[in-house]
Amino acid sequence: MSCAPRSLFHWPAVSLPPFDSPKWQTSPRAFAQGLRATASTVLTLVLFATYLGIGALAHDTGFSLVWVLASTVFLWAGPAQIILISTLGSGATAAQAAIAVTVSAIRLFPMVVSVLPMLRLPATRKREMILPAHFTAVTLWVECFRLLPLVPRERRIAFTNGLGVGLVTASSIATTIGFLLAANLPRTLAAAILLLTPLAFLLSTARNSHRLVDRLALLLGLALYPLVSMLNTGVDILISGVSAGTIAYGVHVLRKRGA
């Protein structure tokens, strides 16, 4: 981490080369810029801490290190990993776990849909975007909106792949450390590490919500879930998310008409 203690208190300034710099001339160089950008964001630190928690949780639930590392690399979605580990750990069937995971993962669909137009050139083929689509999760999504406007369009896929590889690598290291530490972790510390996920997700989403519609969606989503969860439908997150998102969008449309 290149963060001096002082810079941790602020969103670090983005220091990417200007568009005409030779550093953007080839794809490998753009990939390296993406890899380097991983070290310049507080979110990497937050992600690292989140994956310490996931490694520890997997250990305590009885999964192997290989298993949890495979989940970090191939599943690559913190909330889904926590949901999978805790539902299987509480004795749910694989089918029930699959439903819980897929419901939490629906949010990845609009994330991919909104990231891809920033990467695409008219000649870009779908298979070039498979890897960026796989890396898409909340951290990469937030970072793409912040950083991609500063990256020349023809180098954005390579840059995003560099960012993704950097984030997955840091998270895999954290998963391993968390797994190995878990046996000796006091209960309060283990709870503190697990609390990092909701805190970090809440604040990074709030940080990235510039428009009223997104802030409203966040607020309503938080408020509706506890109510909907009392119905115990098995798809509570889906019901509360689609309702809250749609209400927020409705307010956005009404305000636009009124203006």
Partner 1 sequence: MSGLIGDWHALLVLLLAGILPNEVWRMLGLWLGGGVDESSELLVWVRAVATAILAGVIAQILVLPPGALATVPAALRYGAVVAGFLAFLGFRRSIFVGVASGEIVMVGGTIWLG
Using CB under 8 A as the binding rule, the residues of this chain from 151 to 190 that contact partner 1 are: 187-188, 190
Between 25 and 199, CB nearer to partner 1: 199
Stretch that binds partner 1, among 19-27, 29-37, 97-105, 168-176 (CB under 8 A): 97-105
Structure tokens, 38: 């991983």
Q: First vs last Cα of the chain: how many Å apart?
A: 46
Between 99 and 177, CB nearer to partner 1: 99
CA distance 178 to 53: 6
Binding to partner 1 in span 43-62, by CB under 8 A: 43, 45-46, 56-57, 60-62
Instruction: Choose, by CB under 8 A, the member of 16, 47, 151, 218 that binds partner 1.
Output: 218
Structure tokens, 4: 């001096």
Between 22 and 210, CB nearer to partner 1: 210
Instruction: Choose, by CB under 8 A, the member of 35, 42, 157, 168 that binds partner 1.
Output: 42
Q: What is the greatest pairwise CA distance in the chain?
A: 59
Whole-number minimum distance, CB 21 to partner 1, in Å? 25
Between 28 and 110, CB nearer to partner 1: 110
Between 28 and 62, CB nearer to partner 1: 62
CA distance 123 to 188: 53
Specify the residue for token string 């568009």.
19
Site membership for partner 1, residue 254 (CB under 8 A): no
Site membership for partner 1, residue 136 (CB under 8 A): yes
Any idea what the Cα angle at residue 81 is, between residues 71 and 137, rounded to 5°?
90
Closest CA to 206 of 192, 193, 197, 219: 219
Residue 226, number of CB atoms within 10 A of its CB: 10
Closest CA to 11 of 204, 219, 160: 204
Instruction: Choose, by CB under 8 A, the member of 25, 26, 207, 233 that binds partner 1.
Output: 207
Instruction: Choose, by CB under 8 A, the member of 33, 40, 44, 104 that binds partner 1.
Output: 104
Whole-number minimum distance, CB 16 to partner 1, in Å? 20
Sign of CA dihedral 154, 158, 164, 170: negative
